[in-house]
Chains A and B, each alone.
Chain A
Amino acid sequence: MNNSSSSAVYRLDPARVRGEFLRLLPISLFVIAFGTAFGLAAVQKGILPLEATFMSVLVFAGASQFAALELWGDQVALLPLMAITFAINSRHILMGASLYPMLRDMKTSQRYGLLLVLTDANWAIAAQDYQNGRRNLEVILGGGIVLWLAWLIGTLLGVYFGGLLAHPEQYGLDMVLGCFLLAMALGGRKNPRVLLAWIVAAAAAMAAYWWLPPHTHVVVGALAGGVVGFFWLERKTDEH
């Protein structure tokens, strides 16, 4: 397997896409619980079941959907809605950018099709694999589809039977994504350079959390960590 060749076209392997679908099936069960919580919260705000489901299908970004509910009333202010949705989801911009060294070897239509289901969990795996020298865009597609289905099913359950799971945090379910992302972060490559980037990122994220407008901390922290990489280049070593 040659990981360094970037001239070759990246072709998705259907068998691996299916494999990644199955690999993210367990975590998707937890995503169903989240979707249920969203569906319940949405109908409690007076949103119709079909509308809430439609939102999950088309938006597919949980944190921003919950935030939209905070703005809900007889009317929804357009600019705050756009600003909050953009701020919360702007992490996708950085996530997508980090996949570009792989995505550029792919046909344009495939590239942008795949990105429709880009989200935290499947991206975290692709990013970790890339750091470990494996090119894995199959997880974006296969994992993205299973996560999207789970979000849809969860929302449907929530709008109709939400009462069954009114307090997901009682069961620790609000920590699923956090624990998952932490496991991914710690499973990646660790060296003094990465450690320094993490310290800078953590400090910048907290500063932004406390003193900058809401929802900017992820982008601020990530860019600050990236600056460490910009000035401290990794010495070229052979992949083994």
Chain B
Amino acid sequence: MSIETSPLGVLAIIAVMALVTLATRWGGPFLMSYVTINPRIESFINTMASSVLIAILTPMAITGDLGARVALGTTGLLMLVLHKPLPSIAAGIAAAAAARYFF
């Protein structure tokens, strides 16, 4: 089944995307309201939470171009040394721009 990209069709497409996305935003806490939270479940969701970031970042670093790797490497290193997010992020972005300019 397809939706035509007529003015009305585009509205329908946007509505479908908005509803699916809303379901993902509401779904987690809604499902959790049926789960009894014990220390084991709490440990699961806490570890899962920090793993979300790693699961986003790893393919970005491994399959990314040189700029992407240099950016993440710079931010990571500075963050470990300085513990200051904003300078670390800014340096990472600048490093990506520089790497792409020169190579």
- Residue positions of B touching A, CB distance < 8 A: 1-5, 7, 9-11, 13-18, 20-29, 31-33, 37, 39-60, 62-63, 67-68, 71-72, 75-76, 79-80, 83, 85-86, 88-89, 92-97, 100-101
Contacts and interface: CB of A to CB of B under 8 A. Distances in A.
B3 to A, nearest CB: 5
Contacts of A47: 5, 10
Contacts of B17: 55, 58-59, 64-65, 68, 81, 85
Interface stretch (A7-15, A100-108, A151-159): A100-108
A179 B28 contact: no
A14 B43 CA distance: 30
Interface in A193-240: 193-194, 197-198, 200-202, 204-206, 209, 217-230, 232-234
Given A86-B20, A220-B55, A186 B79 contact: yes
Contact of B55 (A173, A225, A234): A225
A68 B23 CA distance: 17
Nearest to B77: A186
A224 to B, nearest CB: 7
29 contacts: A26-B86, A48-B10, A59-B21, A68-B13, A85-B21, A89-B20, A89-B24, A92-B21, A92-B25, A94-B48, A96-B27, A97-B45, A98-B45, A101-B45, A103-B29, A172-B95, A172-B97, A178-B60, A178-B72, A179-B88, A185-B54, A197-B50, A201-B54, A202-B58, A217-B59, A223-B48, A225-B50, A225-B51, A225-B52
Contacts of B86: 26
Interface string A73-96: 111111101100110011111111
Given A101-B37, A101-B42, A185 B57 contact: yes
Contacts, number: 295
Given A59-B17, A95-B28, A222-B55, 10 more contacts: A30-B93, A79-B1, A95-B49, A130-B49, A169-B96, A180-B85, A183-B75, A202-B54, A222-B49, A226-B45
Contacts of B57: 178, 181-182, 185
B55 A58 contact: no
Interface residues of A, number: 100
Of A182, A204, A233, which is in contact with the most chain B CB atoms at under 10 Å from its CB?
A182
Nearest to B58: A202
From DSSP, what is the main secondary structure of chain A's interface residues?
helix
A41 B13 CA distance: 17
